[in-house]
A and B are shown apart, each in its own frame.
Chain A
Amino acid sequence: KNQVEQSPQSLIILEGKNCTLQCNYTVSPFSNLRWYKQDTGRGPVSLTIMTFSENTKSNGRYTATLDADTKQSSLHITASQLSDSASYICVVSPMDSSYKLIFGSGTRLLVRP
């Protein structure tokens, strides 16, 4: 069964520190891998989209990496801000059913002052 697993489930860091969130997936072959940010009470917002052939994609202080051989992706947040407090969701699009995205359950990040 196609799955997307994220770790850790939750994370607390101090403002200004860096952190890395992990995503392991079993979806193969896949079309692309996405990272979303979801603030409490809001819909997810796209951070990065990487095709299967890309290794890294940045969006400001957010950098996503992809290792298709080990089926792992990570999202690195640099110099965290209070506004980074949110859930971060990893999503994989299967190549054979690209309309049916597979979502991870997310990592809840809390940035403390």
Chain B
Amino acid sequence: NAGVTQTPKFQVLKTGQSMTLQCAQDMNHEYMSWYRQDPGMGLRLIHYSVGAGITDQGEVPNGYNVSRSTTEDFPLRLLSAAPSQTSVYFCASSYSMMGGDSYEQYFGPGTRLTVT
């Protein structure tokens, strides 16, 4: 199993540009999520999905879109990049995250994004 894969590893954007961060998992996990990690702060949830066709907002969703057309893929779209979106982005997946479940959550290697 490749686990959770993310592309690209690094990206530099100019303000106002758009792009898509790719995330894929091969573990047949229903739950997938996107986080951003900023210095001195804990990971913050951007969007999550509990299955194909189902997405919802996390703590910091503004400026980002997601879709989940397949179980395997969960891309994150930046609509119009801003310097405040400079961060490290992590995708994660888990078999289930329902209340009472304690399944392990697997993280991808991250995408380091700089917006100038």
Q: Which residues of A line the B interface, CB within 8 A?
A: 4, 31-32, 34, 41-46, 49-51, 89, 93, 95-96, 98-106
Contacts and interface: CB of A to CB of B under 8 A. Distances in A.
Interface in B2-31: 4, 31
Interface of B: 4, 31, 33, 35, 40-45, 48, 50, 56, 58-59, 90, 92, 97-102, 104-110
Contact of A31 (B102, B104, B108): B102
B44 A103 contact: yes
23 contacts: A4-B42, A31-B99, A32-B102, A43-B92, A43-B108, A49-B104, A51-B100, A95-B99, A98-B98, A98-B99, A98-B100, A98-B101, A99-B31, A99-B48, A99-B56, A99-B97, A100-B48, A100-B59, A101-B45, A102-B42, A104-B42, A105-B40, A105-B41
B16 to A, nearest CB: 28
Contact of A98 (B44, B56, B59, B97): B97
A99 B56 CA distance: 10
Contacts of A93: 97
A43 B105 contact: no
A21 to B, nearest CB: 14
Contacts of B31: 99
